[in-house]
Amino acid sequence: MSKNTKYQNVTKELGGKLKALRTALPDVVTEFNTLHQTAVAPGVLDARTKELIALAVSVAARCEGCVGFHAQALAKLGATDAEVTETLGVAILMGGGPSMMWSAEALAAFKEFSAA
């Protein structure tokens, strides 16, 4: 796997696995997707701010797939390197060394999707 496509591959592979989960648990997955869409919809906070929060939580939770999907969403929403890196700084503050390691992964994922 090329370093330039690591997170594209992660999200693609997980996407296939999530389809299988949707078949096995259609109501659960549908309701989760509804919750996701509602939670990140623009409100007092815009969608990009909400995705930045989701990326920070993904780092703190050490969830590779979550990092990939939220980095991808941020790239699509036009987030800047500065916005992402500042968000990752807060994630490091809150999660210490493990969050620093995952922040490096999250930044690589964002840069990968931004370049695509």
Q: Taking CA 11 as the corner, what is the angle to CA 88 and CA 87, rounded to the nearest 5 degrees?
A: 10
pLDDT digits (tens, 9 = 90+) for 36-88: 999 999 999 999 999 999 999 999 999 999 999 999 999 999 999 999 999 99
Q: What is the mean pLDDT of the chain?
A: 94
**Domain of residue 17, residue span:** 3-115
We report the CATH number of the domain holding residue 20 as 1.20.1290.10
- The CB-side HSE value for 44 (13 A sphere, CA atoms) comes to 0
| Number of domains comprising the chain | 1
Q: What is the pTM of this model?
A: 0.88
